Structure 1
Amino acid sequence: MSLMNIGLSGIQASQVGMNVTAQNVANINTPGYSRQQVHLSAVGSTSMSMKDAGNGVSVSSIRRVTDQYQTNQIFRAGSMLGATSTSAQQLKRLETLLSGDSMDLSQGFDSFFSALNGASVSPYGSAHRTQIISEAEALSNRFNQLNSSLDGQYNDLSQQRSSAVSQANSLLGNISKLNEEIRKGEATGANTSALQDERDVLIAELSEIVDVRITDAGDGTLNIALPNGQPLVMGNQVAQFSLESDPNNPRGDVLSLSFNDQNFPLDDDIGGKLGALAEYEKDVLIPTQAAINDIASEFAQAFNDQLAQGFDLNGEPGKPLFVFDPENPAATMSINPDFKPEDLALSGDGTPGNTDNLMKLIEIKDQEFEIGHLGSQTLGSAFNSLLGDIAVKSRQAQSDHDAASNIYLQATIEKSATSGVNLDEEAVSLMMYQQAYQANLQVINASNQVFASIMQLF
């Protein structure tokens, strides 16, 4: 090969190197960009002569500098971050809700039983009896508002879950399309670095919604699955998430996955935001609402039962003050619309001034009841225990989120050290390619001079 052609190959290779360096510098602030490197190969001799030095240089490939292990660590950390962020947010909202003055059942019980204590001075007085009924109504309203707010959390969970499912399905479709484009590009020898970067960005977004496992298919495509093996993307085949009403919980949803006409029911072990939402609903929201209902039911039933043991101002047996639906006591608790102050059965023997039954009604405050997962507790302490349990879980969730944030930051730093663009390194590369370009121009110039000298001989 001529000296001029060898120099030309060097110029062309240097030009590619400068272009790649420029591309790296231009994308230094592009999210998800992985720097690229030029791989050069010497073009050997074709004449098999010892006097033939070779035929110059060629660009064998432009390589995307990345480490799949580090990329997978980003995906794992992203899933932890998505899950812990969701848990921390939901638990903090619930803690704030339960600790609000208008929702504090412990305060409601204190006010109600304080009104009962006040009536012990004058059990036949209309003012005291009216105050008892007023506080009973206020306590019922607390239960109603608290239950309504918890129902609102179910609606919020459903909306978040629906939004996350839509986003996940969209990401899966786009990842599948990129898989196909990359496969075709790899087959024709095209540079698919930008497409692979875009795919990694989408997988990182998906990993915040569900935990993912990545397998390289060997043809440029990536297979993606859930932790338990349910497929999400295989080549250009893609799964879809769906939500259906939970037959065991009308306010809840059941998450499933369909792939190639196969349906996979999903539990809360799928990680990410969707896993955290399901876990929060199952382990926190449902038991919390069940405990609130237990407190409402046990209190209202115990109070009504004790009223039935006494006598009102007319000497008649006591009738129930509270009415409620046993299937949903907190939401339906209210005051008997026909109940009047004189109907309060505070007497134990029918005498208007007797307070025997009133004392037994007051004792309900210190009586222990079986309250769901909280065990045997008094009414006020049961709510305080519930609030304390939520507060502990909220602090733990925030601590887990802080730890996940640090892990994600560390994984990002490690990946950036490998794949990120370093301006100092790129400056050195640019100088090197520029000098090589100029040196190869000198080679071509020398070839021209030799040729000109030879021509002068004729």
Structure 2
Amino acid sequence: MSLLNVGARALMANQVALQTTGHNIANVSTAGYSRQSAQMVTVQGQFTGNGYVGQGVDVQTILRNHNELLTRQAAMAGSAQSSDVVRVQRLEQMQDVFSGGKDGLGTAISDMLGSLSDVLNSPTDMTARTVTLTRMSETAARFRSAADRLYDIENTVNEQLKNNVTKINSLAKNIADVNEQIASATGNGQVPNDLLDKRDQLIRELNQYIQTTQIPADDGSVGLFIAGSQPLVLGNTATPMSVSEASEFPGSGKIAVYFNRPGASPLELNESMLGGGEVTGLLRFANNDLAEGRNLLGRMAQAIGMSMNAQNKLGLTLDGQLGKDLFSVPTSAPGYSSGVGVGSVAFSNPTQFAASDYEVRFTTPPAGQVVRLSDGKATAFTDLTNLASQQIDGLTFNVTTAGNAGERILFKPFANTAANIQGLVNAPSELAAANQINAAMGTSNAGSLQLSGLKATGIPALTLPAFGTNVTLSFNGTGGFSIAGAAGTPMDISTTPPTPLTPTNPGPPPVYSYTSGQAINVDGWQITLQGTPKAGDTVRIGNALDPQYGDAYKRNAGNAGALMNLRDAQMFDNATLQDGWASAMSQVGTRTQSAQYAANMSTSIADSLESQRVAVSGVNLDEEAAKLIQYQQAYQASAKMLQIAQSIFDSLLQTVSR
């Protein structure tokens, strides 16, 4: 009987081993499956006078080949990879908006400014004027189109966030259900391998959307925590999540996810608290990358619109009227308060704009600081009057009600400009191509003095000569000139605010230094002269609408030249207006390239850890085929053992029965 028992045990053990090997082979392609193996132990031998006689083998358990540390590391690395990859995908979409080529916004801006050369050459040519206005409308349309594409990307991101949160809630519920099954199965003293594999796979899938921390419980269940300590899954209970607008700055468009704790108010979680996962990458893109893209686009629209509007209003139309705005751009933008503070931001100097959002933070109200969010640069203020008196990056912050200590006001000055910009002038005659001032060399000039440029700048303020009078520049022949008839003194407009020039001789009249080709700025207009004057040479500047000049202003295109010359104005982080689009493309490209590098790095780490995990848990068909042969032979030998035991038993019965 002992031999029969040994054989029977061996047969059963090898059958279990064969079944386990077959289970491995069947699940070779099952995601998350961990290779299993039958763990056999020797049955305690029976004591006899001749020693302990062996009684065969038993299957102690079915072992799950699994490394807990590698599994968790792989899940965490996969979470970081998902965050980086989804962010890169969206950045690449945004990079397509900031593209070059003949259909790009940069080309439209260049064509618009270039078309003014035809107006400059032929001020009364209606066709040339119409082309310029058409180019302006096209530029505005391309700004709006680019803004619309950014809004489309934002809507896609918002929908993806909602879908991801729905998947998170579904996976968390499934994990809670599996937790309950595992806790029930663990009570029999054996490990439910397939349920553990199912739960690990669900956790890996969950980490693709949001990073979790795992803490095992004594009953075999696992608690999952997000944002450091928030229990997403505890035992068989899952807490739902949602996505909505951030509560801190209502109306600002910032997005956050919410942890909906039972019996308590939803807890707001932002991207800095969540670690990895697609949700983190999408939040980071929506609240930071996309905001920068809008700021770059909006800053260009605001600066171009303000600059060209200001210059056009300094000129004269063909009807002798002052020019009006060429583009519709806002004069101010509202603030979004986290408390009781109220304020707005006004646009002052387009050459100093920075592509950034701003926060006014109250430390000891009404004192605080203005923080540029793009780089954290802070500017302190003592009270609201002091704040309004400062011009920060070409902006003026007008806060009417201070916040309490610790409260903030968020300003997004450029967020909506590009989406709403429009061309305002449609009639060719309304393009203010002519200067409001006229200039002529003195009839008795003996030097080589020539007029190189004349335009109204409006800096510090335009003061035109009265009808019938002139402003006269008189040269002394030794490198100096004096001014008669002007309301102000020559200014250096490169400083902020502009500063008066120091005369080389205080006079009277004061004498100022003359340099050929260097602009002279007086009363809000600018004249540029070239050549060497003789003593007594003069230049006369008068009001272009003075009857003594008749309709000469209609054939003047000085203001069109000033509009065209805006292309060389330093505006966007030391880039010229014409090169502003290339600068914006570069900034978006640099951000995308940096994100691609991070994604490649995190993908490499995730792939490496997953390979290590699979090396431990994965099924190798060659190994399993070898085990099949091994256990088949062992099974056949066990069956042979039973056959021999049966034969011996039959012979014993025959002998005893005689």
**TM-score, normalisation: structure 2:** 0.65
Match of 1:341 among 400, 405, 428: 428
Q: Return the letter of the residue paired with 1:356.
A: G
1:442 alignment counterpart: 640
User: 2:133 & 2:596 partners in 1: Cα distance?
Assistant: 42
Aligned AA (1:457): V
**Contact 2:119/2:433, CA 8 A, preserved across alignment:** no
Q: Secondary structure at the match of 2:93?
A: helix
Q: Per-residue deviation at 1:355?
A: 2.5
Structure-2 residue corresponding to 1:199:
199
Cα distance in 1 between the residues matched to 2:283 and 2:192: 38
- Asked if the contact 2:10/2:57 (under 8 Å) is kept, the reply is yes
Q: Is 1:70 paired with 2:83?
A: no
Query: Paired residue for 1:125?
Result: 125
What's the CA shift for 1:157?
0.9
Aligned to 1:4: 4
Q: Does 1:362 align with 2:575?
A: no
Distance 1:453 1:163, change over 3 A: same
SS at the partner of 1:40? strand
1:278 aligns with 2:480: no
2 CA distance for matches of 1:196 and 1:422?
Answer: 20
Gaps of 5+ in 2: 334-415, 438-543, 545-552
Alignment correspondent of 1:291: 296
- SS of the residue 1:120 aligns to: helix
In the alignment, the residues of structure 2 paired with residue 186 and residue 406 of structure 1 have an alpha-carbon distance, to the nearest angstrom, of 37
> What is the CA distance between 1:433 and its match in structure 2?
2.4
- Give the equivalent residue in structure 2 for 1:178: 178
1:173: Cα distance to partner? 0.9
Structure 2 letter corresponding to 1:343: E
- How far 1:386 moved relative to its partner? 1.4
Cα distance in 2 between the residues matched to 1:100 and 1:196: 53
**Maintained 8 Å contact 2:100/2:107:** no
> One-letter code of the match for 1:330?
A
CA distance in 2, matches of 1:217, 1:382: 58
Q: Distance in 2 between matches of 1:235 and 1:433?
A: 39
Change (3 A) 1:261 1:376: farther
Aligned to 1:426: 624
- SS of 1:136's partner is helix
Query: Offset at 1:217?
Result: 2.2
Alpha-carbon shift at residue 211 of structure 1 (Å): 1.8
Using the alignment, how far apart are the partners of 1:49 and 1:170 within structure 2? Answer: 65
Q: How far has the Cα of 1:20 moved from its partner?
A: 0.6
8 A Cα contact 1:232 1:259, kept in partner: no
Cα distance in 1 between the residues matched to 2:251 and 2:151: 12
Larger displacement relative to structure 2 (402-411 or 413-422)? 402-411
3-state SS of the aligned residue for 1:323?
Answer: coil
Q: Find the counterpart in structure 1 of residue 29 from structure 2.
A: 29
In the other structure, the counterpart of 2:57 is 57
- Please tell me the residue identity of whatever aligns with 2:129: R
Contact 2:213 2:228 in 1 (8 A): no
C-alpha distance after superposition, 1:156-196 (max 9, x if no partner) = 11111111111111111111111111111111245521122
* Corresponding residue pairs, total: 453
**Which deviates further from its counterpart, 72-81 or 102-111?**
102-111
Secondary structure in 1 aligned to 2:187? helix
Per-residue Cα deviation, 1:427-450 (whole angstroms, up to 9, x for no partner): 332233233323333333343334
Matched AA of 2:627? S
Query: Match for 2:312 among 307, 312, 315?
Result: 307
Counterparts of 1:125 and 1:423, CA distance in 2: 83
Cα distance in 2 for partners of 1:48, 1:324 equals 104
Cα separation, 1, equivalents of 2:122 and 2:90: 47
Q: Provide the C-alpha distance between the structure 1 equivalents of 2:282 and 2:259, rounded to a whole number of angstroms.
A: 16
Q: CA deviation at 1:400?
A: 2.8
Report the 3-state secondary structure (helix = DSSP H, G, I; strand = E; otherwise coil) of the residue aligned with 1:74. Answer: helix
Aligned: 1:408 with 2:408: no
- Stretches of structure 1 that go unaligned for 5 or more consecutive residues are none
State the shift of 1:100 in Å. 5.2
Aligned residue runs from structure 1 range 9-408, under 5 A: 9-45=9-45, 51-99=51-99, 101=101, 104-189=104-189, 192-226=192-226, 228-246=228-246, 247-249=249-251, 251-262=253-264, 263-269=266-272, 270=274, 271-326=276-331, 327=333, 328-336=416-424, 339-348=426-435, 349=437, 350=544, 351-369=553-571, 375-408=573-606
Q: Tell me the CA shift for residue 282 of structure 1.
A: 2.2
Matches of 1:8 and 1:84 in 2, distance apart?
57
Q: Secondary structure of the equivalent of 1:63?
A: strand
Given that 1:306 and 1:360 are in contact with CA atoms closer than 8 Å, whether structure 2 keeps it comes out as yes
Q: CA deviation at 1:238?
A: 1.3
Report the Cα distance in structure 2 between the residues aligned to 1:90 and 1:321, rounded to whole angstroms: 34
State the SS of the aligned residue for 1:38. strand
Structure 2 counterpart of 1:364, one-letter code? L
On the 8 A contact 1:176/1:238 being kept in 2, the answer is: yes
SS at match of 1:41: strand
Per-residue deviation, 1:2:
2.8
Q: Secondary structure at the match of 1:198?
A: helix
Say whether residues 1:457 and 2:656 are aligned partners.
yes
CA distance in 2, matches of 1:31, 1:211: 20
Contact 1:105-1:380 within 8 A present in 2 as well: no
Aligned-partner Cα distance in 2 for 1:231–1:50: 62
Query: How many angstroms does 1:76 deviate by?
Result: 1.9
Which letter does structure 2 place at the counterpart of 1:336? L
| Letter of the structure 1 residue corresponding to residue 321 of structure 2 | E
Q: Would you tell me which structure has more strand in proportion to its own residues? A: 2
Equivalents in 2 of 1:233, 1:84: separation in Å? 25
Name the SS of the counterpart of 2:267 in structure 1: strand
Higher mean alpha-carbon deviation, 88-97 vs 209-218, is at 209-218
1:264 Cα shift?
A: 2.8
**TM superposition shift of 1:52:** 4.7
Query: Which is helix-richer, 1 or 2?
Result: 1
Distance 1:278 1:249, change over 3 A: farther
Instruction: Give distance in 2, aligned partners of 1:211 and 1:392.
Output: 27
The residue identity in structure 2 corresponding to 1:255 is V
Residue 76 of structure 1 contacts residue 207 of structure 1 at CA under 8 Å; is this kept in 2? yes
Q: Matched residues in 2 for 1:315 and 1:423: separation?
A: 90
**SS of the residue 1:188 aligns to:** coil
More off after superposition, 217-226 vs 172-181? 217-226
Query: Hey, what's the Cα distance between the residues in 1 that align with 2:322 and 2:647?
Result: 125
What is the CA–CA distance in structure 2 between the aligned matches of 1:50 and 1:227, rounded to whole Å? 67
The answer to whether the 8 Å contact 2:93/2:153 transfers is no
1:266 is matched by which residue type in structure 2?
Answer: L
Q: Tell me the C-alpha RMSD between the 2 structures.
A: 2.3
The TM-score, its normalising length taken from structure 1, stands at: 0.92
SS in structure 2 of the partner of residue 322 of structure 1:
coil
Deviates more, 1:140-149 or 1:388-397: 388-397
Contact 2:144 2:419 in 1 (8 A): yes
| 1:4/1:280 CA distance change after superposition, 3 Å | same
